[in-house]
Every structure is written in C-alpha cells, then in structure tokens.
Amino acid sequence: MRRNPAVTGLARGLSIIGHPLVVMPGAGLAAWVARGGGTAQAAGIAVGSGLAGLLILGYSRWRVRSGAWAHVDASGRGERRNLNRFLLGAFTGGAVAGWALAWPPAVTLALVSGAAMVAAAMLTARWCKASLHMAFAVFAAGLLHAVSAWAVAAALLMTLAIAWSRLHLQRHVSADLWCGAAIGVIAAIAFNGLPGILPP
C-alpha cells in the first residue's frame, strides 16, 4: 500500500523531535530550572548534552557511511545490538565522569538511568526490539512532574505521537513500544523515588 508522503514526512518529523537526544536534555533542563537549579549548571548540562548528542549522531552516521548500517535509526537486529552497546558504554562512561567530577547528582543519576534503560532493552532483545524512543520519552515525562501536571500531560501526548510515528515508519511493532514504555515508567519511578536528587 502506497503511503501518503505528507503523512510520512509528519511521522519522520515527530520521530526526530521525539528522539532521546532531544527529549531527555529538554525535559531535564526544564525540571532543573523549575526546581531552582543554578543557571551555570543548566548551561553546563545543555552543552554536555549537545556534545553527547553530536558524539552519538556522529557514530551513527559513520556506521551508515561505512556500509555497516542501512539507516541511522539502526532498525536491523544486528544494527540495534551494535547501537545499544555503544549507548551503554556512552551512558556508563558519562555516569562515571559525573561521579568523578562531582556533577550535580541529578545529572549523574539521569545518566545511570539512561544506561539502565539501554541495558533493559538489551536484556529484552530476545523477545522484542524495545523502543528507546518510547523509553526515553516516558522517562522524560516523569522528569517533568517537577515542572507541572500540564507539562507531564503534554509530554504524554507527545509520547503517543512518537509511538504513532514509530509504527508508521515501521521501525517498531506494538510490542516494542509497550516494552519501551514499561522500561521508561520503571526508570522514572526509580529516579523520582530517590530523595534529594533534584534541587529543593
């Protein structure tokens, strides 16, 4: 069946806007500022997130240009396994750096949470291809409880739009999205359940 190019373009746009490299830093900064976090630290978080995003994007593009991957989405089983290993290393390395350099606890724990979500996706790979788009979008919505209930509601609506985009683009099936959402919920509950993480 031929798909409408405009609808496919919308799906691609939503998938980009809902990418973990976009939603996580955005939600994290919003939560940090809403809870009275320092401006200098917020700027540091923004710069660090941008550099991490460039690293991951650069790695993905290199894999595509070398012929190892068909697309930066890394949708093939081998591609996804390779990407998840890279992401696990990147998040773990970031968390270790955050601990060693005494970054704000919320930043270090967010990196630990990212590593845990990627590890969960790797552990469930035998049964499904857990959507990290969904996992990180749901986790980001959980971070926004520090901003307002309206922010959480808007983030959850965006999460539904992301889910639709991933299905429309045929990057995932429903089971992948549900698994990713469950991973994000567990990570958000764990993160928000630890006292003293976000500034008072």
Question: Quick one: CA torsion of 17, 22, 24, 29, rounded to 10 degrees?
Answer: -110
pLDDT of residue 126: 93
**What global pTM score does this model have?**
0.92
Per residue in 162-188, pLDDT (tens digit) is 999 999 999 999 999 999 999 999 999
Q: What is the pLDDT of residues 115-132, one digit of tens each?
A: 999 999 999 999 999 999
CA–CA gap between residue 19 and residue 179 (Å, rounded):
17
At 200 the pLDDT is 47
Burial class (CB in 10 A: 0-12, 13-18, 19+), 115: buried
pLDDT of res. 75: 84
Over range 57-80, report the average pLDDT: 91
Specify the pLDDT at position 196: 56
Q: Mean pLDDT for the chain?
A: 91
- 2 three-class SS: coil
Record the tokens describing residue 36, joined without a space.
């009275």
Three-state DSSP at 66 gives coil
Each domain of the chain, given as residue ranges in start order, spans 57-192
Percent of the chain at pLDDT > 90 equals 70
Q: Do residues 35 and 198 lie in contact, with contact meaning Cβ atoms separated by under 8 Å?
A: yes
> For the chain, what is the radius of gyration of the CA atoms?
17
Nearest to 109 by CA among 5, 3, 192, 34: 192
CA distance 188 to 61: 30
Instruction: Report in angstroms the alpha-carbon separations of 132 from 17, 73, 86, 136.
Output: 14, 11, 14, 6
**196: exposed, middle or buried (Cβ count in 10 Å: 0-12, 13-18, 19+):** exposed
Q: What is the number of other CB atoms lying within 10 angstroms of the CB of residue 52?
A: 19
Q: Is the pLDDT of residue 18 over 60?
A: yes
Q: Percent of the chain at pLDDT above 70?
A: 96
Among the ranges given (31-45, 141-155, 176-190), the one the predictor scored with the smallest mean pLDDT: 31-45
Cβ atoms of 94 and 52 within 8 Å: the answer is yes
